[in-house]
Amino acid sequence: MAKSEEKKSTLRVIVHSFFVVPFLIAAFAVLVYGLTRLITYDGRDAYDLLTQIRTGSQSQRWQAAVDLSKFLQNPDLIPPGDKFVSEMNLAYREAKHDDPRVRQYLTLAMGMTKRTEFVPILLADLLSSSGDNQLTLIHSLGLLRDERAMVPLIELAEAPDARIRLEAIISLGNIGSEAAIPALEKALYDSEPNVRWDAAIALAKMGNSSGSHILLDLLNRDYLKSYSEVDPDERTEAILVAIEAAKYLSNDELNEKIKDLSRNDPVMRVRDEAQKALQL
C-alpha cells in the first residue's frame, strides 16, 4: 500500500472511531436492558457466566465473556463484595492463553462495573499488551476513572499508533485529573485530527480553554466538510459534541458561534441544542 493511501486509511479509521463508535455505544446501551432480561430469564447470574468463561468450550467461553460485559452494564446486576472481584480476576488470569476475545470482553466487563479494585490487574498488562487488547485495557481504565492509571496513560498518549493515542486521550479526559493537562495540551497539535479534537473536548470539560480554537473548528460545517470521511450525520454529531463541551467555558467567540448555530444551522436538533446552551 502506498504511503498516501495508508495515511488516508488510518484517518478514515480514526474519524470513524470518533464519531461512529460513540453512536454505536449509545445504541448498544439501549439494548442492554433487553439483553440482560434474556440472560437472567434462563436463571444465569454473573457467577454462572464466570463459571462458563472458565470451564466452557472455546466458543462458549468468549460468548459468555460477551454476555458478561453486557450483563454488568446494569448496575443492579453487579454482585457486591470481594468474592466477585476475586472471581473476575481469576477468570482474567486464566484466560491469558485463551481466545483473545475472552480477555478483551472480561476487560470491558471490569470497566463496566466501575469497581476500582480492578485497576491493578488491568494496569499490570497495560504497557505489555498491544493491538485490540491494549485498546480495551485503555478504554476500561478510562471507565474506572482512577488516577493510578494516569502515568501509563500519559505515556501512551504519545504512542506511535494513532488509535492508541486517541484512546489514551479519551481515557485521560474521562479521568479528568489536572495532571493530564500537559499531555492533553500537547495532543492539541497531534498529527491525527481525532486526537486533537478529543483533546480539546477533554480540556474544555476540565474548564481549560487551550483547545477553544479547535472547538470553533468543530462548530463549523465548512471545516468538517474538508474531511471527506466525515458524512453529514457525523458532522452534526461533531457539532453537538462541541456545543456540549463549550458549555464548560466562558468564551465569547464560542458563544457567538453557538448563537449563530441557534439561528442558522440547517439541522433543527443543532439549533435546539445551541439554544439550550445559550440559556445556561
Domain boundaries, the chain: 3-195, 211-280
Separation between Cα atoms, residue 6 and residue 50, nearest integer Å: 40
Query: Average pLDDT of 93-105?
Result: 93
Query: How far lies 244's CA from each of 146, 249, 273, 278, in Å?
Result: 24, 10, 8, 11
Interacting residues of 248 by C-beta distance below 8 A, sequence separation 6+: 204, 205, 206, 207
User: Model confidence at 1, in pLDDT bands (50, 70, 90)?
Assistant: very low
What is the pTM assigned to this prediction?
0.84
- The pLDDT value recorded for residue 43 is 67
DSSP secondary structure, 48-74, as one string: HHHHHHHHS-HHHHHHHHHHHHHHTTS
What is the percent of the chain where pLDDT is above 90? 79
- The pLDDT value recorded for residue 185 is 98
- The pLDDT value recorded for residue 164 is 95
Separation between Cα atoms, residue 148 and residue 126, nearest integer Å: 12
- The pLDDT value recorded for residue 158 is 96
Query: How far lies 206's CA from each of 14, 120, 178, 181, 257, in Å?
Result: 23, 26, 8, 9, 21
Q: What is the pLDDT of residues 162-179, one digit of tens each?
A: 999 999 999 999 999 999
Interacting residues of 8 by C-beta distance below 8 A, sequence separation 6+: none
Number of Cβ within 10 Å of residue 57's Cβ equals 9
First-to-final CA distance of the chain: 50
User: Model confidence at 42, in pLDDT bands (50, 70, 90)?
Assistant: low
- The pLDDT value recorded for residue 2 is 42
Whole-number average pLDDT of the chain = 87
Taking 60 as the threshold, does the pLDDT of residue 14 lie above it? Answer: no
User: Model confidence at 103, in pLDDT bands (50, 70, 90)?
Assistant: very high
3-195: in CATH 1.25.10.10: yes
